[in-house]
């Protein structure tokens, strides 16, 4: 998209963001009809991923999850733009911490311990970052891939930093974390993205051989920050609650791949519990393990 086109579209994005939630979800219903019933956006990818992940489910069950997923995906897309104009009060109403999660982060802050957060593309991870920044004393850093389009990259940065979150380009992760070692902070790793197969741990995940980034575990062991798994669960349409679980207080003392297997296993459990709210249209298994 050209710069001119971007600035033509930008006012409509802000108008979209300013819509009341009721109107936003009416629009989402229309998007669902278009994506699922008319265009079939990545439907083959979604169905294949679901069938391979849940071989015990019949065709009717797979189709039901598929439809629920597309409805969730449309909600997620519009909820993300809502971040541009949402108030603090509304943000905390629509995405909130469970008391035990808040207690965990308060304890880590009291002990002046920075932390590594591990989560997946489950629930609304964009809103989760906003809520963390509003509720926790840790400065939140989120690792991200900069977009090729500089204008939209800037827009996404603005949305994600609305309540004080800071972003780190993936290539600068370790260097930035070392530079901020004297600051009380939390660095969020979205750990279910797809790495190149030659530079990954391979684990059994949702019944399939799956490559997982080594970086999360390698950095955790080098810098020895506690590793906390974060779950963002959709309670009902437009409302999410966040839970947190200490995976490892002392990463430097763990065995190779132990941390990776722990956070992958926890994410798998949460996906199985609420399969419709994970990012099934992502080509998570496009790489295959090469065996000798």
Question: Which residues are 166's β-sheet partners?
Answer: 141
- Domain total of the chain: 1
Report if residue 202 sits inside a domain: yes
Report if residue 97 sits inside a domain: yes
Report if residue 18 sits inside a domain: yes
For residue 57, the 8-state DSSP code is: S
> Using one digit for the tens of pLDDT, what is the confidence trace for 77-115?
999 999 999 999 999 999 999 999 999 999 999 999 999
Report if residue 292 sits inside a domain: no
> Using one digit for the tens of pLDDT, what is the confidence trace for 139-179?
999 999 888 888 888 998 999 999 999 999 999 999 999 99
Report if residue 75 sits inside a domain: yes
Nearest to 287 by CA among 170, 200, 190, 207: 200
Flag whether the pTM goes above 0.85.
yes
Report if residue 287 sits inside a domain: no
Other C-beta atoms lying within 10 Å of the C-beta of residue 143: 22
Other C-beta atoms lying within 10 Å of the C-beta of residue 64: 14
Give the model's pLDDT for residue 1.
58
Give the model's pLDDT for residue 292.
57
Per the structure, the complete domain to which residue 130 belongs is given by 3-277
**CA-angle at 278, arms to 276 and 279, nearest 5°:** 115
Report if residue 283 sits inside a domain: no
Report if residue 10 sits inside a domain: yes
Mean pLDDT, the chain cut into blocks of 10 residues (292 residues total): 80 94 98 97 97 98 98 97 96 98 98 98 96 98 89 89 94 94 96 89 96 95 97 97 97 96 97 98 89 62
């Amino acid at each position: 998209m050209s710069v001119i086109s971007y600035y033509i579209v930008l006012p409509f994005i802000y108008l979209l963001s300013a819509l009341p939630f009721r109107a936003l979800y009416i629009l989402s219903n229309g998007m669902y009809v278009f994506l699922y019933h008319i265009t079939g956006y990545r439907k083959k990818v979604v169905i294949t991923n679901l069938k391979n992940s849940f071989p015990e489910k019949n065709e009717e069950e797979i189709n039901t999850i598929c439809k629920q997923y597309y409805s969730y995906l449309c909600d997620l897309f519009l909820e993300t733009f809502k971040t541009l104009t949402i108030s603090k009060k509304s943000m905390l109403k629509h995405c909130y911490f469970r008391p035990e999660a808040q207690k965990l982060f308060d304890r880590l802050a009291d002990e002046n311990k920075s932390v590594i957060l591990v989560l997946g593309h489950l629930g609304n991870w964009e809103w989760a970052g906003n809520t963390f920044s509003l509720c926790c004393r840790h400065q939140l850093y989120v690792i991200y891939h900069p977009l090729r389009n500089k204008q939209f990259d800037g827009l996404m940065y603005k949305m994600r930093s609305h309540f004080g979150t800071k972003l780190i380009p993936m290539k600068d992760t370790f260097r930035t974390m070392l530079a901020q070692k004297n600051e009380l902070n939390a660095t969020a790793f979205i750990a279910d993205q797809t790495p190149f197969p030659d530079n990954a741990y391979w684990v059994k995940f949702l019944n399939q051989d799956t490559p997982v980034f080594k970086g999360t575990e390698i950095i955790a062991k080098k810098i020895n920050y506690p590793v906390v798994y974060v779950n963002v669960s959709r309670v009902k349409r437009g409302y999410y609650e966040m839970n947190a679980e200490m995976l490892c207080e002392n990463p430097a003392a763990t065995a190779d791949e132990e941390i990776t297997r722990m956070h992958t296993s926890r994410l798998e459990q949460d996906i199985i519990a609420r399969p419709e709210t994970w990012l099934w249209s992502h080509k998570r298994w496009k790489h295959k393990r090469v065996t000798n």
